[in-house]
Each structure stands twice: as C-alpha cells, then as structure tokens.
Structure 1
C-alpha cells in the first residue's frame, strides 16, 4: 500500500516539527514500523519529486526540474514503479494524487480513479490570495476529496484478490488551499498557535540565488503585513489533522482485513513546506524545511515496531526498496538505493547523503550532520545541524569547513540535463 501525501512536512506528531499538532493516526503508524528521521525529497516540487521517485530517474538526469515540465515526453521509455509491478504479476490500482495532477500517466494504471474535487467557500480568496488561501468550509468529511479517495481504497481492501496487489492512494491535503471542515480549525485556537522560530535578516548571509528562490517580498511580505501568520499556520495544522483522519480510515481498514500480515505500507510526503522560515512560504527551496519529508515503512517480517532510522535517505530509494522487499527481478537504471539494510538494522553502514535538486544546476547535499547547497552560479551555503538545526548561520565561506564541503561536493550529480520542454499552464501546484 503506497501512500503519497501532498505538501506534508515534518510538523506531524511522529517527526516532532510542531509541538501540539494532532496527528494520532500517523503517530500510531510510525510506531508500528520504521520512521526515517532524515528522509528527503529529490526535488522540492510536486511534479519533479513524484516523476523521479516513480521512474527512478533523478531530476538532474531527466531535466524535469519544475511543475510546468511534462515528464513523459523526455522519459518515453521509462518503466514506472506501478508499471513494473504490473509487469511482474501484481494487480495495480490507484486513486487520488500520485503523479502531479497535470501529468498523470495513463500507462501506469490499469485502474485509476482520479482526483476528486474539493469543496470551496462560497467566495474566494477568504484570507489569502489566489491559490494561497485558507478557510473552514461548511461541509462534512464525506464531502472532501480525500475522503472519497480513501473510500476507493477501502473498497479495494474489502475485496478478495487472487494475486498480490499494489494499491496507491494519494492525498491532496495539506496542499493549498487549506479548506477543511470547521471542526479541524477549532482544534487550533489562534491564541494557542506557535509560530516557527525565525531570526531577523535570516537571508543576510544567503547568496542572491537563494534569496531569489525564497522570494521574501512575495508570500512572506503579504503574510507579515496583513497580520495573518497565525491564521495561515492554523490552516496548515487543520489540514494536516484532516489528512491524518483519512489516513487512519485507510490504515484501519487494512489492519482489519485479511491482508494485514502480508502487506507492505510505505507512506511519504512528496516534499517539505516552509511557513515563514527563511522568510519563505511553500516548497520550492533547498533548505531543510522544503526538503525534509515524512517517511514511514512497515514491512511484515522485516521491520520492527517503533524503530527510528537516523541515516539520510531519499524518496528515490522507494523504487529499488519495493523491488527488493517484494523479491522482484532487479532493474537497471534506478538512481536510488534499496534501504532494506536500514529496515533490518537502523545502524547499518550507509554512505549515501541525500541529494535534492531545484532547477538546473541548483543542488543540496544532506548527510547526517551537514547540509551543503550550491547554486548554478557557483555560490554556496553550508549548515552544521549539530549546532544550527534551523540553518541560520551559513558557514560555507569558513575555511575550516573546506574538507566538509569537498566530501559533500563529491555526491553532486555528475549530469545536469538541460531543462525539459515547459508547458504553459502546466505549472499549477
């Protein structure tokens, strides 16, 4: 059971990013298997992240760096993860957002139920602007798109299947706009909201290429000047708790089914999300908040309950891992690494720093202690997470860290493919 969650960062309870968030189902799921504390996306945007993990081809190899770049035209011969399982005798079915909505891949799905439309307030935007908005909606859970998507998954799990299956369920929330029923907003009174830890002039030691990515004069300026920071955080928290409830419905059904003891569960967020850290909102950046993702694996007979892995892994590792766990024939051309050794032993030797790419020539390399960022123009950032977990102090120009940079630079992509063709109107989040 392959569970993709859109825009969910590390604020959920198992990952401790926001004290007081209410995500009991995700916490229960994490305690049932292996939680990866240092898991990262290959790209901090929906389309390149999902296309890369589902094809096994990195953004720097394909040239698919942004949401407005259709991936299939440049990866015509790619055999996607669900295609590979179909070819190896699995029954494959999906519902909800698995690929970026603009470029779903019909070839990947023998059965695909689509992405249901979510209800909206009578008049929008309510608090924000355009697609950067949040508000309660006067509807029941049953009216929400994710509820309908989970219902398709429940129908599947309640059927008899005569061969192994690959069920993919994609959640839209907590993606913007944060429209969920009022009861979820009520869980987070505004006077109890805690804002992210920030410092003044956080971008002062960031290269101009990084500042351009952050766009501090965009969403962040709007949030601060309109006094809506707490309301925006409330909307994000509410949307995460709503998503948690739907994830609970799906997992509870599996656990009550005859498939409980022989079904692997993989749950991941497609990338992280900023809520004002580094004067930035949304994903689309190479810092910790935009790149760190929730990642939980339960593999009966392999994983042990309540296991925590502190090694750095990447969503690119999902494809080879599932092949390994399901004992399918090995596949060449996959650019991730099977994490089965870490599922068996969280302290296993592991020398694979996580690489994230955002746009041509812009990369981040994260090992267990440091994050190194290099932009296309050669400018750099370096952060020591042992002393600076918020990435407030850029030490890239400090000569005493030259050997650290050299070690991380060795893991940068050797290929930087030119930008794939862009499609006007295809870049919606």
Structure 2
C-alpha cells in the first residue's frame, strides 16, 4: 500500500537548484470548461476547428498549444468542483483523500497529505493565488473554531474583491428580519446596481420579487434553467442562468477584475501596494521564484458573456445534441435523478441555441482574459530574466450542453469528465512546442508536474503515495501508459465511481448508503457491497464506445455484455473500494479507516478476456 505523507514527514528541500534556477510557474484553472471549446483541441481530435456542435473561438489557447504540449485525453478524478480541486492540490484520488463531494474536510487526520503549494513554499517559492480556490478545507484556529485553510502564502479571494465594489454580478444573503433571503446583485458600468431576490426565508416570493426578476431577464436576455421552483409567488425563483448578456464589458467582469488584481501584484515587485481587496499587501520579491495560481470563474453559471463576445456569436447556429427519453429507460436510477435536475430537453429549440451559443461565447471571452494574463506573466519573467512553466487546465471538470438531456456535470459521462490541458515551458525541453499527446492523463498529475518543475525528485521514496505522473514524463513517453482513468463523486446522484478505457465506460454505485461517514466509522462495513449485489442493484452502466461514442445506450444488463460488465465492476471496485480507500468522519479530529482488501489493484492495466468482449 502506498505510504501517505504527513506534514510532520515533509522532507527538507535540499536540492542543488538555486532560487534563480527555479522557473516561475503560472497555473490557470477554469470552471465547467469543455475541451471542445478549444479550436486547437478540435483540430487535434477532429481535424476541424469547430466542435461537434459548431463554432468556437480560442486564439489565445491555440497560441499556447503551439508553444507547448496539448494533452487531448485529460480526465478529472471527480466531476464536481470541490473534490476535483482537492485531488489536484494533493495529487490523490478521492478514495485516497477521503473527499468525495462537497463535504468540508480538515487537515488534522494523521493521513493528511501536504499540498502542492505547501511543497513549493518549502522549496523557496512565493505562492500566490487569485480567484476561486474551491478546496473545501478547514483548520481549527486558536479559538477552537473552524476557519478556512488557505495553503497559498497569499490569496486574493474573489469575494474580497467583490466586497470593494469590483464585480459584474454577486450574491447577497440577508439572514434576519423581514427581508431575509438570497438575491442576485448586478452592476452596470456607470456604477448603478440592479438586484432581485431568488428566494425568501419564508419560502414565499413576493409579487415585486417576480416582477423585478422579469424586468432584468428581459433587459439582459436571460435564459434560465427549466428546473427549480418556478410557481409564481411560491418557493424560490430559479437562479441558474444559462445564458444572457453581461452588464459589464469584458475587463470589468468578475474574471476581468481578477486579471487586474493579478496585474497589480506583478507590477508591485519588491514593494507594498493597495490591492482591489482594499488592503495593503506586499508584492512579490524579485529574488524568489514565484508560483501564481489563477482560478477563473468562467464558464460556470451564470453564463453571461460580455456584449463584445456575445455579438461575435449571435448569428451562429449549432447542432443540438440528440437525446431521446427512451434513453432514460436504460439509465440507472441514480442517473435518471441526475437528468431530472436540469432536463434540457424541455427547452424550446431557440432556447437550446442560445444556451449553446452563449456558453461558447463565454469561453471565448475567457480565452481573451487567459491570453492577457499569460502575456503579463511572460513580460514579468522577461524583465526578471527567469525561465517559466505554464499549466493551463480547461477546466476542473467539463459540462453538458444537452448531452444526456442535461446542463450539468456530476456524472460519469464524457461531457462531465473530459478536459483539455496545455503545458508550456520557456526552454521547450520540458514541454516541446507544438506536440500533441493523446495518452490518458488525469488531474492528479498536476501536483507532481509542478513539483517536478520546481526541482523535486519524484523518485524519492517519500513521494510514492502520489497517484499522478509528471506530465513532462508523459509527454516524453517515459511514464507508464495508463490503460484506464478513474473517478468518483457522492454528489447529486448518490456515491458512484467510474472507469474509462479506450473502448468502454463503466460506472456503478460504490456505497449502499451515503459516502460521508459521521458516527462510528467502519471501513469494513458493507465495503464490498457494490461488488456483491446484482448489477441492477449497484445501478451499473456500461457504454460500448466502439459503437456508442456519445454514451446513449446502457448495455450493462444485456446478456452479451454482462460478463464484460462484471469484469469492469471487479476492476473498478477493487481499486476504489479495496486499494487503500479512506473514509473519514470529518466531524472528528482523527477518526477514519482505510480498506486493504485489494491492495495494488490500481496497476494502470486493464486485462479483459477477449471471449467476453462482444463483436461489433
């Protein structure tokens, strides 16, 4: 079993690299970003700039891909922001981190790993974060209360920037009084604001709330999700905005202000300055290597591209993903519940067109912001005569634009999990210019990649616990090729895990009950449940990607596929349930268990007897 590293066993940084030798690092992460929003990805995988749905635009990311390596087969290890980001920052699969969804976890258990920014800080890096972190980690402060654990030396939170008036949209919560409830607040260039309630504490929206929302939606051409409590005057108003025109120009959107904060920091080398958060902070020190992390909001909802980019897409017509309700009859019950959360198929055709068009326009707007941030970073490196490494992750997971009838993530499907990654190095030795890598990579690879760039020797036995590879080793062909990727989540449609090979996707429920242990944790209780019950009871799904690349026909229960489904179930179950699975009671300081009944199951090799693979 892999040895887990604890903070107490953090090795001293004793490598020979000097501070000047270490490259500056820029890590950019987007949210809900589909791989096919990148022209370079489509060219590499389809031979055309357009996605399967139609027109996209990504000149900045295309340029970056030409300067480094484009990884076309990147998959997140959990199709939800919080667990995915926890895996990225720790280099551990969810089943080794004990974080499967949006539960708050803390850093006190003795299996707690060191995060990537902590390692780089130990290596002499000044680590700075901007924007959305999304790692739901806590630590007890001196008063004994839980407070956010930020692993970066300095972090510029989007909410702190918004609090000083820099936003295009934000949310407000009023906790007490007759006006208690939640509302959207939007800002216009002249400083005026518009707000409306999306819910009231007494579960009774007022007529004025409904009218205020209607006026804003009409003015900004807002498209709402069809799900939620929509009955006039009752419950909450749907607050999932799937399309519309932003109230601000690109540079004054939330992500635009994030860029301004980044610029201000870079321009304040060796001096103090007043940030957009309203406080005076120290700029970076010129004699230290730098790690900059930028967590952009786009293209997460509310999907509201600026007018400039929306106009560029206004006449585009898209291929609407096919979905037939007959597919629901073959979907596992938990996936049917997932579909029912959004039900895009209920939209009118013109609404589906807007939904897709505004999403890709939002991605194009974000592309322009990434390009500007990268240019500013490169300029800083040139001025300081420093080498650099850039890692662009698009995004923390992907997003459905009607596939499987959904506008969502959280599922095992391609469109929930498939992302695109670009890695660039100034010297080109680490990441050769213009190279395309089609081998499987996973989000647990990002931590070892940046640690290696900072000079850590990943062959040191102390790092055996890491689940990921250095992407530079993958690009050079030195890393062992994965024959599958895995993922797991407990959010929206019960605990479920997935394994994907070149030809097949298999998914199943992992735990009989919930996957967030609370009282009396026992890792042996029902741990093999998903391996012992019927495929039907385990909510299994199997997609034959050779004939069903769009994952529309679940064949797990068909007679000719049943042995194959059982084979993949055993492989997946042994990995995520038996190969060192952590289940922790996060309400306690150090109460957890680790399963050991299938140690070594995660060998990156998929062995299937050809006799059980149906002919096509």
Match of 1:239 in 2: 362
RMSD of aligned alpha carbons: 2.8
Q: Secondary structure at the match of 2:157?
A: coil
**Which whole-Å CA distance do the structure 1 matches of 2:28 and 2:433 have between them?**
19
**1:108-123 equivalence runs, <5 A:** 108-115=151-158, 116-117=161-162, 118-120=167-169, 121=186, 122=194
CA deviation after TM superposition for structure 1 residue 223, in Å: 4.8
Q: Secondary structure at the match of 1:406?
A: helix
1:388 to 535, 540, 548: 548
CA deviation after TM superposition for structure 1 residue 392, in Å: 1.8
Contact 2:431/2:472 (8 A) holds in 1: no
Q: Secondary structure at the match of 2:377?
A: helix
1:337 to 444, 469, 474: 469
Match of 1:370 in 2: 504
Match of 2:288 in 1: 163
Q: Secondary structure at the match of 1:137?
A: coil
Count of residues in Structure 1 that have an aligned counterpart in Structure 2: 418
**1:8-407 equivalence runs, <5 A:** 8-12=33-37, 13-16=39-42, 17=51, 18-67=53-102, 69-72=103-106, 77-100=112-135, 105-115=148-158, 116-117=161-162, 118-120=167-169, 121=186, 122=194, 124=213, 126-128=222-224, 129-158=238-267, 159=269, 161-189=286-314, 192-215=317-340, 218-220=341-343, 223-224=346-347, 228-259=351-382, 262-268=387-393, 269-299=395-425, 300=427, 301-330=429-458, 331-345=463-477, 349-359=480-490, 361-376=495-510, 377-398=537-558, 399=560, 402-403=563-564, 406=567
CA deviation after TM superposition for structure 1 residue 352, in Å: 5.0
Gapped regions of structure 1 (runs ≥ 5)? 423-429
**Which whole-Å CA distance do the structure 1 matches of 2:68 and 2:308 have between them?**
30
Q: Secondary structure at the match of 2:342?
A: helix
CA deviation after TM superposition for structure 1 residue 23, in Å: 1.3
Residues 289-337 of structure 1 show CA distances to partners (whole Å, capped at 9, x for unaligned) of 0011121111332211221111111101111222223321543432223
Q: Which is higher, the Rg of structure 1 or of structure 2?
A: 2
CA deviation after TM superposition for structure 1 residue 153, in Å: 2.6
Contact 2:54/2:318 (8 A) holds in 1: no
Note closer, same or farther for the CA distance 1:99–1:197 as it changes in structure 2 (3 Å cut).
same
Note closer, same or farther for the CA distance 1:408–1:246 as it changes in structure 2 (3 Å cut).
farther
Q: Does 1:7 align with 2:32?
A: yes
Q: Secondary structure at the match of 1:296?
A: strand
Q: Does 1:410 align with 2:571?
A: yes
Gapped regions of structure 2 (runs ≥ 5)? 1-25, 43-50, 139-146, 170-185, 187-193, 196-212, 225-237, 270-284, 511-536, 588-616
**Which whole-Å CA distance do the structure 2 matches of 1:351 and 1:410 have between them?**
14
Q: Secondary structure at the match of 1:178?
A: coil
**Which whole-Å CA distance do the structure 2 matches of 1:226 and 1:219 have between them?**
16
CA deviation after TM superposition for structure 1 residue 373, in Å: 1.2
Contact 2:68/2:424 (8 A) holds in 1: yes
**Which whole-Å CA distance do the structure 1 matches of 2:108 and 2:332 have between them?**
32
**Which whole-Å CA distance do the structure 2 matches of 1:89 and 1:52 have between them?**
23
Q: Secondary structure at the match of 2:486?
A: strand
CA deviation after TM superposition for structure 1 residue 22, in Å: 1.2
Note closer, same or farther for the CA distance 1:91–1:375 as it changes in structure 2 (3 Å cut).
same
CA deviation after TM superposition for structure 1 residue 232, in Å: 1.6
**Which whole-Å CA distance do the structure 1 matches of 2:564 and 2:349 have between them?**
45
**Which whole-Å CA distance do the structure 2 matches of 1:221 and 1:343 have between them?**
38
Note closer, same or farther for the CA distance 1:139–1:223 as it changes in structure 2 (3 Å cut).
farther
CA deviation after TM superposition for structure 1 residue 101, in Å: 7.7
**Which whole-Å CA distance do the structure 1 matches of 2:392 and 2:585 have between them?**
29
CA deviation after TM superposition for structure 1 residue 200, in Å: 5.0
Contact 2:106/2:586 (8 A) holds in 1: no
**Which whole-Å CA distance do the structure 1 matches of 2:265 and 2:388 have between them?**
13
Match of 1:426 in 2: none
**Which whole-Å CA distance do the structure 2 matches of 1:204 and 1:281 have between them?**
19
**Which whole-Å CA distance do the structure 2 matches of 1:10 and 1:133 have between them?**
18
Q: TM-score, normalised by structure 2?
A: 0.62
Contact 1:353/1:367 (8 A) holds in 2: yes
Contact 1:31/1:306 (8 A) holds in 2: yes
